[in-house]
C-alpha cells in the first residue's frame, strides 16, 4: 500500500501530524545570504522530507505546511523586508498564496508630547 492509495482525509491527517507544529516557525537569514532558515523547538532535522516524495505529495503537504502553520520573521525591523522577500521567493508564488499566518514586527517609536512620553506603534 502506498501513501497515495490512502484516502485524501487520511493523507491530510498524516501531513498534519508530520508538518503542523504547535508553536510559530521562526524564519531567519544569515547575513547577506539569500537562504532562509526555519527554526522551531520541536522541529526535527529533516521534518520536511515528506515534501520531496513526489509532485502530488508536495502539493497536498504544502497546503498543510504553509496554510496551517504560523510563521514569524526573526530579524531587526529594518531587515525584515529582505527576509520576507527572500522567504516568499524561496517558497514560490503558489505556496505564498497558501500562507495564512505570518508575524511581522513593526517598529515602535517614542513621541514626546509636552512632558509626557508616549509610545506609538507604526
Per-residue DSSP letters for 63-97?
A: HHHHHHSEEEE-S-GGGHHHHHHHHHHHHHHHHHT
Q: What global pTM score does this model have? A: 0.77
pLDDT tens digits along 15-70:
999 999 999 999 988 877 778 988 888 788 888 898 998 999 999 999 999 999 99
Q: What is the pLDDT of residue 76?
A: 66
Q: What is the pLDDT of residue 108?
A: 57
Phi, psi of 26 (to 5 degrees): -90, 130
Q: What is the pLDDT of residue 42?
A: 78
Q: What is the pLDDT of residue 90?
A: 92
Amino acid at each position: 500500500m502506498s501513501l497515495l492509495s490512502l484516502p485524501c482525509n487520511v493523507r491530510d491527517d498524516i501531513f498534519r501530524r508530520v508538518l503542523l507544529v504547535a508553536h510559530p516557525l521562526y524564519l531567519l537569514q544569515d547575513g547577506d545570504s539569500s537562504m532562509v532558515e526555519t527554526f522551531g523547538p520541536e522541529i526535527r532535522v529533516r521534518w520536511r522530507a515528506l515534501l520531496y516524495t513526489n509532485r502530488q505529495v508536495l502539493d497536498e503537504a504544502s497546503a498543510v505546511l504553509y496554510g496551517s502553520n504560523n510563521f514569524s520573521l526573526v530579524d531587526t525591523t529594518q531587515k525584515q523586508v529582505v527576509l520576507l522577500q527572500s522567504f516568499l521567493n524561496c517558497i514560490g508564488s503558489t505556496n505564498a498564496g497558501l500562507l495564512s499566518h505570518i508575524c511581522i514586527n513593526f517598529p515602535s517609536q517614542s513621541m514626546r508630547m509636552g512632558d509626557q512620553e508616549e509610545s506609538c506603534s507604526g
